[in-house]
Amino acid sequence: RATNPPALARISPPAWISSLMAAGVGVSALLCSQTTVEALKEKLWKKTGTAVGSMRLELRDEAGARVADLDRDAAPLAAYSPYDGYRLHIIDLDPSSVTSGGWLEDTSLVEKYTISDEAYDKLGTNFRKFKEKMVSKNPVSDDKQSDNHMEELCANIKVGDRCEVEPGAKRGTVKFVGRAEALGRGFWVGVQYDEPLGKHDGMVKGVRFFECPQGHGAIVRPEKVKVLATSRKGTHLMMKTRYSGV
């Protein structure tokens, strides 16, 4: 590195220093080369919370090596010959400050509240008890579903029916109604969409449930399916539904 680099020669835009970083805080700023060290500290105080009187600044190069201490409050930044990309390292001299001692960089230094499992279980109310209560009210485990889960919703769904599948009101033809062990217990409905809005060609997890063009197939829970029944006048009527699926 040249002993006396041309002042601000590599700085862009001219007379500005970009990407000066407060180490550990990640503050980015554009600074005029004529800004005094004191004014710089005022600017950084607002961004980092370190008080001006407790702030020591070091100018460091791209590799992190210290170039200079900014120890003259009245001196302009240009007096320290900074290059574009240099960093400002802020040292907080206040021992009571949250930024001192490396707490923001190393959370292992922060004292944490701990409690044993036994003491936690003795609390009248805690998250563990709340979670167990909610799970008991809303069992979602596949093991708790019967082999006939949602069978009643398939009563009005037949292979060959025209249908809509939610969400999105995707139209298609029912190609399969029945159990699909590979997907979970209970009843499922296989649909061939009119457009390539599906995920497969009727084969899921190595099991062939029906045949259709690639990308047109879907297998969903019957609650997602709306059967389209044709009336005497030829209009379409919506029948039954709800939703959930693969």
Q: pLDDT for 12-44, tens place per residue? A: 333 334 334 444 445 555 677 888 999 988 888
Is residue 21 classed exposed, middle or buried when 0-12, 13-18 and 19+ CB atoms within 10 A define those classes?
middle
Beta strand pairing call for 66-69 and 170-180: unpaired
Asked if the domains 16-107 and 151-239 are classified in one and the same CATH topology, the answer is no
What's the Rg (C-alpha) of the chain? 34
**Residue 109, pLDDT above cutoff 70:** no
Read off the pLDDT of residues 47-98 as tens digits, 9 standing for 90 and up: 777 888 888 888 888 788 888 999 999 999 889 888 777 888 888 888 777 6
Tell me the average pLDDT across 193-216. 93
CATH of 16-107, one of 3.40.50.10680, 3.10.20.90, 3.40.50.300, 3.40.47.10: 3.10.20.90
Query: Domain-by-domain residue ranges, the chain?
Result: 16-107, 151-239
Angle in degrees, CA 214, 215, 220, rounded to 5? 115
pTM of the predicted model, to two decimals? 0.38
Tell me the average pLDDT across 2-21. 36
Question: CA-to-CA distance for 207 and 217, rounded, in angstroms?
Answer: 13
> Could you say which DSSP state residue 77 is in?
G
Read off the pLDDT of residues 166-180 as tens digits, 9 standing for 90 and up: 988 899 999 999 998
Is residue 145 classed exposed, middle or buried when 0-12, 13-18 and 19+ CB atoms within 10 A define those classes?
middle
Q: What pLDDT does residue 12 have? A: 34
Q: What pLDDT does residue 26 have? A: 53
The model's confidence at residue 1, banded by pLDDT at 50, 70 and 90, is very low
**Residue 140, pLDDT above cutoff 80:** no
Percent of the chain with pLDDT over 90: 29
Tell me the average pLDDT across 141-168. 83
| Cβ neighbours of residue 220 closer than 8 Å, sequence gap 6 or more | 165, 188, 189, 191, 243, 244, 245, 246
The CATH homologous superfamily of the domain defined by 151-239: CAP Gly-rich-like domain (2.30.30.190)
